[in-house]
Chain A
Amino acid sequence: MKNSADVVIIGGGISGCCIAYNLAKKGVKNVVVLDKSYICSGSTGACGAGVRMQWGTEMNCRIAKHSINFYEHANETLEYEGDVEFKQKGYLLIADTDKEIEQFKKNIEVQHKCGIPSRMVSLEEAKEIVPHLNTSILKGAAFCEKDGFLNPFLTTDAFYRAAKKLGATFYTFTEATGIKVENGKVKGVQTNKGFISTDIVVNAANGWSKEICAMAGIDIPVYSERHQILVTEPVEPMQDPMVMSFGLNLYVQQSPHGSFIMGRGDPNEPHDLRITSSWHFLEEMAKTIDKVLPAIGRLRVIRQWAGLYNMTPDRQPIYDKSAEAEGFYMAIGYSGHGFMFGPVTGTVISEMILGETPTIDVSVLNLARFKEGKLFLEPSVV
Chain B
Amino acid sequence: MENTIVCRCSDVTLKQVRDLIAQGYVTFDEIKRITRIGMGPCQGKTCGQIVQREIAMAIGQKMSDVEFQTNRPPVVGVRLELIAKEARRNEEQR
A residues with a Cβ closer than 8 A to B are: 38-41, 45, 82, 153-154, 157, 231-234, 257, 277, 279, 282-287, 289-290, 294, 296-305
Contacts and interface: CB of A to CB of B under 8 A. Distances in A.
Contact of A282 (B36, B70, B77, B83): B83
Which 6 A-B residue pairings sit nearest by Cβ, starting from the closest? A300-B77, A297-B81, A153-B33, A286-B83, A283-B87, A290-B84
B41 A302 contact: yes
A39 B30 contact: yes
Interface in B1-29: 10, 27, 29
20 contacts: A38-B29, A41-B29, A157-B34, A233-B41, A277-B73, A279-B73, A285-B80, A286-B80, A286-B83, A286-B87, A290-B80, A296-B80, A299-B80, A300-B77, A301-B78, A301-B79, A301-B83, A303-B39, A303-B74, A304-B72
B94 interface: no
Contacts of A82: 34
Contacts of A290: 80-81, 84-85
Interface of B: 10, 27, 29-30, 33-34, 36, 39-41, 43, 70, 72-74, 77-81, 83-88
Contacts of B39: 231, 303
A234 B70 CA distance: 21
Nearest to A152: B33
B88 A302 contact: no
Contacts of B40: 233-234, 302
B34 A300 contact: no
Contacts, number: 84
B81 A301 contact: no
A257 to B, nearest CB: 7
Contacts of B84: 283, 286-287, 289-290, 297
Contacts of A45: 33
Contacts of A39: 30
A304 B39 CA distance: 11
Contacts of A287: 84, 87-88
Given A39-B30, A153-B34, A301 B77 contact: yes
Given A45-B33, A153-B33, A300-B41, A38 B80 contact: no
B77 A40 contact: no
Contacts of A297: 79-81, 84
Contacts of A234: 40
Of the listed residues A41, A296, A300, the one surrounded by the most CB atoms of chain B closer than 10 A to its CB is: A300
